[in-house]
A and B are shown apart, each in its own frame.
Chain A
């Protein structure tokens, strides 16, 4: 039976930690924008392409 006394608190602790981090994560803004990332993927450029465009691009500037 000893193993329960290790596993139960451990599982509970993990669960609580999980909840905390999840809230923290939402606060960190990772889920704020769920549209642009899908498009951004398509606009990877190599250096040459950037130069061709005359270095006009800005990366999703803030």
Chain B
């Protein structure tokens, strides 16, 4: 029986647009990555220009990797596959266009704001509040369009890819909104509502789930669509793909605390994060095997078809990354690997291996379809493939070695004297500089491969660009009466189901942090920052010092010998947001206060090499000439007070005067310490003074008697 088929066409222009955007941002993201990789072994590439220092460019790179490269790739894949799986054109072409152009504008302005130093100072979530709101709005536009398309679908069964997309859309919205809770001071300045331990948990709950729901679930959805398509074989086990989906949705959300092992986060939360992280291995590897077995009987084609090559390699890297993740979540391994470059290697096995190769494979497959042409050159595609695979392998291997080496050197103890084997921090960095270079070489190969790929694809993009026409019977034509409504409700049910699964887990895992805040450990020794210190802290955020420096001493002997007493949870209770950091390219700063005289910092910030010859830290000479703007300091403190930091009204009102008085004192200290060498007249209103005030305060309250 042939029910009336409806003729319709797919909106392929939106997929084409996102494909082009993905390729463009891929090159930009990789380029910025190359710059910061180079800066780590050659400080001169910081160029002594504020906008180009490591601390500002690294957030540009990480945000570009997430929001520009990966997100555009996801949108390209989702718009292409969803329309075909749902047998329906996107509900609204206008919403699709708004989504596309809004997103690209957001990326450009966002990158600009980060370079200029507007940042929330939260790792992987640096963009200031107006951008957060823009992201949320555009995401809603995308969600409405997507769910409306599901509602008008002509295929009753919802293929597993769509579920992965649904989970992505809902969870990202939830995470993003939660993590972005901030109180604005001005148009481009705000403070995280959360502080210290709470902030760290919310932050890594977000950070980890950004990996899960931006870099994993949508890409799995795309894998389950494009792999069978390219292999021209059904997925090995569709049943398993559904198990894969539900188990990921349930387990992933609990794994966040594995970023906070050995920190001031409650022990049980750490253990929870560890157990769930290890559990993730099972569904992840099941998914990998499911993907690989799909190619049974088609392996000969993998040799000749670049698309399949990319997809297979990408799935193997998915396996590698999802093995490494649980491994790094085991406490003992984490002790060694955390704060080193190993996690950086891990995230690139995921980002460049899994996401990158899958994206390119998918695009090599889509472009001939979307432009109705043939690929310009299979040979070039193969060159791209091998450069990419060799590049990312070099990258990962280099940082495994670097990470293990740095971790073991940092923790190494002399068994006889019970002292640190490598008390000089820089020893742990100079030893891995060759691996930093090897990593940069790997990145360069990957970048050149990508440029070749973009050229190849660009040359292929000449053809008829018409929307693909098709036909299908409407659902309503087949299902009558009560059943009709019933089937329409199914996508809604899935939606709710996913939301609930994620929501329950999230709330239960975050709740304890609020409870902890209700029971805030009363420690009278811990006082809020003075107005000047607070101002200095804002400079610390602006320059992105947390991209190299941690502020969290773990309770192990080697750390306490190197840095001092372990960090206490209450020590960061006024830190909106926390600055625990996640990587030590420089030493931990949690107890740097009082370690050196003011003058030491003054000279060190202006030119680190004048004090530590081998230092790779950027120089910050502009802090000596930039004037403090104390005008809205009262507003800032007011916001902090509002967030529960115990400033009194007098302090808030006279913040600027208090700051100026303390600055004068520090400038006078400098003059004394310099003992006649150099004059510090006129220095008392410069930014460097505030930064020194902040650094000299760090970790002092917690070790008071």
- Chain A residues in contact with chain B, CB under 8 A? 1-4, 7, 10-11, 14-15, 17-18, 21-22, 24-25, 28, 30-31, 33-42, 44-48, 50, 55, 58-59, 61-62
Whether B7 and A41, one on each chain, are in contact in the complex, defined by CB atoms closer than 8 angstroms, is no
User: B490, A25: Cβ atoms under 8 Å?
Assistant: yes
The answer, among B238, B472, B507, B515, for a CB contact under 8 Å with A1, is B515
Contact A4 B515 (CB under 8 A): yes
**What 5 A-B pairs come out closest when comparing CB atoms?**
A38-B234, A38-B238, A18-B500, A47-B469, A34-B239
CA distance A38 to B494 in the complex (A): 19
What are the residues of chain B within 8 A of A39 when measuring CB–CB? 234
Q: Which of A22, A33, A41 has the most chain B CB atoms inside 10 A of its CB?
A: A41
Contacts of B468 in A (CB 8 A): 46
Compute how far the CA of A44 lies from the CA of B238 in the bound complex, rounded to whole angstroms: 18
Q: How large is the interface on B (under 10, 10 to 19, 20 to 34, 35 or more residues)?
A: 35 or more
How far is it, in angstroms, between the C-alpha of A42 and the C-alpha of B497 when the chains are bound? Answer: 28
Taking A21-B497, A34-B239, A37-B238 as contacts, is the C-beta distance between A42 and B84 under 8 angstroms? no
Can you list 14 pairs linking A and B with CB atoms under 8 Å apart?
A1-B518, A3-B514, A3-B515, A4-B515, A10-B507, A21-B493, A24-B493, A25-B497, A34-B242, A38-B235, A42-B233, A50-B471, A59-B5, A62-B478
Interface centre among B235, B487, B500, B519 (most CB of A within 10 A): B500
Which single residue of chain B is at the shortest CB-CB distance from A45?
B470
Assess the B493–A14 pair: CB atoms within 8 A: no
> Is B228 close to A, CB under 8 A?
yes
Which residue of the partner chain A has the closest CB to B246? A22
Contacts of B471 in A (CB 8 A): 47, 50
- Give the complex CA separation of A6 and B519 in angstroms: 17
CA distance A15 to B680 in the complex (A): 64
Looking at the complex, which one of B155, B229, B489 makes contact with A42 (CB distance below 8 Å)?
B229
- Chain B interface residues (CB < 8 Å from chain A): 1-3, 5, 7, 84-85, 155, 157-160, 225, 228-229, 232-235, 238-239, 242, 468-473, 478, 486-487, 489-490, 493-494, 496-497, 500-501, 503-504, 507-508, 511, 514-515, 518-519
Q: How far is the CA of A55 from the CA of B7 in the complex (A)?
A: 13
- Give the CA-CA distance A41 to B238 in the complex, in Å: 11
A36 and B158 CA atoms in complex are apart in Å by 12
The answer on a CB contact under 8 Å between A46 and B478 is no
Contacts of A62 in B (CB 8 A): 1, 478
CB of A58, distance to nearest CB on chain B (Å) = 6
- Taken together as a complex, chains A and B put the C-alpha atoms of A35 and B486 apart, in Å, by 22
Most buried by A among B84, B234, B494: B234
B511 contact from A3, A38, A55, Cβ within 8 A: A3
Question: How distant is the Cα of A15 from the Cα of B7 in the complex, in angstroms?
Answer: 42
Q: Please name all residues of chain B whose beta carbon is closer than 8 Å to the beta carbon of A18 when the two chains form the complex.
A: 497, 500-501, 504
The answer to whether A37 touches B159, judged by C-beta atoms less than 8 angstroms apart, is: yes
Assess whether B497 is in contact with A22, with CB atoms less than 8 Å apart.
yes
Given contacts A15-B500, A30-B494, 11 further A-B contacts (CB under 8 A): A1-B518, A7-B508, A11-B508, A17-B500, A28-B486, A37-B160, A38-B234, A42-B233, A47-B471, A59-B5, A62-B1
> Could you say which of A10, A15, A33, A46 contacts B157, with CB atoms under 8 Å apart?
A33
Q: From residue B366, how far is it (CB to closest CB) to chain A in Å?
A: 14
B487 touches A37 (CB 8 A): no
Residues A47 and B470 in contact in the complex (CB < 8 Å), given A15-B504, A21-B493: yes
Complex CA–CA separation, A42 to B227 (angstroms): 11
Other-chain contact of B234, A3, A25, A30, A42 (Cβ < 8 Å): A42
Do A21 and B508 touch (CB < 8 A)? no
Give B240's nearest chain A residue, CB to CB.
Answer: A34
Q: How far is the CA of A43 from the CA of B427 in the complex (A)?
A: 61
Nearest residue in A to B81 (C-beta to C-beta)?
A41
Closest to B508 in A: A11
Instruction: Name the residue on B nearest A33 (C-beta).
Output: B157
* Closest chain A CB from B561 CB (angstroms): 39
Q: How far is the CA of A61 from the CA of B496 in the complex (A)?
A: 29
A44 → chain B, closest Cβ, in Å?
Answer: 5
Q: Determine whether the beta carbon of A35 is less than 8 Å from that of B490.
A: no
Q: Decide: A58 near B493, CB < 8 A? Known: A1-B515, A18-B504, A39-B234.
A: no
Cβ contact within 8 Å between A46 and B470: yes
CB <8 Å contact, B2 and A58: yes
| In the complex, residue of chain B having the shortest beta-carbon distance to the beta carbon of A2 | B518
Q: Can you name the residue of chain A whose Cβ is closest to the Cβ of B478?
A: A62
In the complex, the answer to whether A30 meets B490 with C-beta atoms within 8 Å is: yes
Distance in angstroms from A56 CB to nearest chain B CB is 9
A41 touches B493 (CB 8 A): no
Please give, as numbers and ranges, the residues of chain A lying within 8 Å of B490 by CB-CB distance: 25, 28, 30
> With a CB–CB cut-off of 8 A, which chain B residues contact A15?
500, 504
A15 CB, min distance to chain B CBs, angstroms: 5
Residues of A within 8 A of B511 (CB): 3-4, 7, 11
Cβ–Cβ contact B84 & A44, under 8 A: yes
Cβ of A46 and Cβ of B469 under 8 Å apart?
A: yes
Q: Is B225 in contact with A41, judged by CB distance below 8 angstroms?
A: yes
B293 to chain A, nearest CB (A): 13
